[in-house]
Structure 1
Amino acid sequence: MKRLIVYFHYDPLGQIDTACRVAVEAMAHYGEVFFISNGTLRPADRAWAASVTLTCRERENKGLDVGAYKEALAAIGRGRLARYDELVLMNFTLAGPVCSLASMFAAMEGRPELAFWGLTRHYAMKSRRFGGRSGEVPEHLQSHFLAVRAPLLHSEDFWQYWQRMPLPKSYEESIANHETRFTAHFANLGCRWDSYVDTQDLRDVFVNPIMACPRELLANRGCPFFKRRSFFTPYADELRRTDGTAAR
């Protein structure tokens, strides 16, 4: 399978830290990497990215991940993208891998019925912050790792989705208008999807398993990545959303 990986990066100081480098180098074994950063990279970091990726692109820090992906897709173009069987949209909020990625890619290549897939999923919930006007957050694949396959990848529906997507002005807008809508949008068009990490038995306890029980996913469910935010989640979040455990 010929795969293109668009890796979105952001660092206010223009640094590409060890976690990003490990992830990019690991992913580069499974596809060509288009590295796009919201901001200006330091010379040494730019040189590193250019040495290990197909393309290294810097842009104005505008539109968060949606802006970066829109610009990357426009730069790649439909003609060039037509050479690939799968596009992975991945971002710097993941750290790892903690194991070989071979099992994940082999397992998902063994599921040709899927039009798109992701690493993990978030279950449905009500949220005025992330649910937009309706306040409803549907079950969805999380945007830190999304893989889109041909023929969906080369369809007019996929390109129109990105062309019509307004640039978010905040983290909340990015979640409400893209991350929580992508899965349902294409599922409603008849596209089949699934996550690599199986957490169906956890859905009644955790809406966001990769954040609620990362050790379980890493140790027992084959998840190769974890969220950086596991190390700096605000205390208020854990007090508000206890995921069935003692807040302390």
Structure 2
Amino acid sequence: MRSLFRLSPPPTRAPARLQRDSIAFVLSDGRRIDVLRVRDPRAKRLRLSVGERGPRLTLPPRASLVAGERFLLEHRDWLTAQLAPHADDVLAPVPGQPGALPLRGERLTLRWAAGRIARATRDGDAVVVELPPRAGGAAAGRALRDFLEAEARADIGRWLPAYLSGLPRPPARIRLRVLSSQWGSLAPDGTLTLDLALVLGRPSAFRYVLVHELCHLLHADHSRAFWREVEARCPAWREERDYFRLEGRRLKAALHVLLG
């Protein structure tokens, strides 16, 4: 008689998940911040990084919390320098209070007005956000997002026709999203996704990312043939890549601040 135990499949272990919490930390200059602490089952070593959402301490599975805190203390000066405030940092918009909005590498005045619906419109060198009487920061964030997306789509609409020559097909559709690390991507179905933060920076950098992703319609990899196509359409692509290395994190951080 066959054993009934053999009829049941062996139990499967659920994949390990990231464990997240937040710890308070004091920088070298006395500022108090929160650091995201993540235990990652795939991590091989302790790692401290700073992204658009702030500092992150990554611990491998067997690292103790004490080891993580010691690692953070050892890199206190580095973290302080990374988080040093800049005079032109974007501040969270507060309804009713004058502010600033980065757009295409420039700084526009942010003004507020009463309106029936939440919306943001361009008025010369200013952006006016209209809000109903009871609307708050969330409504303002949605209005600013709609405004930035409309501005980005206007840029893309002006630039795209010049780059379609020689491509096998145009993108199936173009989406604008808040991306965490990438600036753009091209899906197998031809959907082109671009980071909304691109419209905050200089237009030439935005155009480079657009060209980069369009060239993936010809070459799905980053081969020499791919970079030859990029070079032909954007000869200054190296300068734009360097721009993102210098300003990329601040652009992404600014978008998060603006949208709340």
Q: Which TM-score band (shorter chain)? A: under 0.3
* Higher RCO (C-alpha under 8 Å, 6+ residues apart): 1
> Of the two, which has the highest radius of gyration?
2
